[in-house]
Amino acid sequence: MKSHDNVIFYRAIYIKTYNKVKEVTIMLSEISYALGSLDFLRDKETELKPERLLRLYGSSRIAGKYTLFDFSGKQSVFAAPIRLKPLHAVGEDDFRGFLNYQSFTLSWKERKLFRKWASEILDDTIANPHGAKLLTGYLTERKDDPGTTVLMTWWQSAGDLSEWLDSPSYDPLRQYGEPNPRNQYFFDQYHLAE
């Protein structure tokens, strides 16, 4: 059980059986976000924060681009949200650190393979204590376009992200980030807005 900004969220359930405790991970049912100006999103954050786990991020690539994420798992209250359905998750649901956002629109066959590899790579990366410092990873699909898979990873630093993107463990996913006729690819990188 974690407490964030006066809101309690459950990420793991502890089950006691035969004097042993087993941790069972539970994913959020929905992640939503909205884009807008810093002032507008700060006002929205102030309005919603007592009831939701929100994080306001600024793009590290595009000056003046801001995104407010709602990690409460509740139905979105944004006027024009982008809603994501989590498929696989690793790490702690703190959603802090350097965020790498990657969006892949693939054919059904390619999407199935990509999601399998991405899930395995997230599991391997979070389990490796000697590799890049992955804090949290979510593999999701857009609710308005199930053909689009979004991979969001949070890192201790931009350097840790670069190390992972250049590592052999990322190789199976690298081909999907290349411009080609079978894939529409978008990415952005974010830092928490000050």
pLDDT reading at 3 higher than 70: no
d(CA 76, CA 79) in angstroms, rounded, equals 8
**pTM of the model as a whole:** 0.85
pLDDT reading at 122 higher than 50: yes
pLDDT at 72 (0 to 100): 93
Task: Give residues with Cβ within 8 angstroms of 143, minimum separation 6.
Answer: 30, 83, 84, 85
Q: What band does 121 get if pLDDT is binned at 50, 70 and 90?
A: very high
Contact assessment for residue 86 and residue 140, using Cβ atoms and an 8 Å cutoff? yes
pLDDT reading at 97 higher than 70: yes
Return the half-sphere exposure (C-beta side, CA atoms, 13 A cut-off) of residue 113. 9
Contact assessment for residue 33 and residue 69, using Cβ atoms and an 8 Å cutoff? yes
Q: What band does 6 get if pLDDT is binned at 50, 70 and 90?
A: very low
Q: What band does 102 get if pLDDT is binned at 50, 70 and 90?
A: very high
3-state SS, residue 98:
strand
CB neighbourhood size of 169 (10 A): 14
CB neighbourhood size of 4 (10 A): 17
Kindly list the distances between the CA atom of residue 26 and the CA atoms of 12, 47, 97, 154, in Å, as whole numbers in the listed order: 6, 27, 21, 18
Average pLDDT over residues 17-27: 48
Domain boundaries, the chain: 27-192
pLDDT at 157 (0 to 100): 93
Could you say which architecture CATH assigns to the domain 27-192?
2-Layer Sandwich (3.30)
pLDDT reading at 117 higher than 50: yes
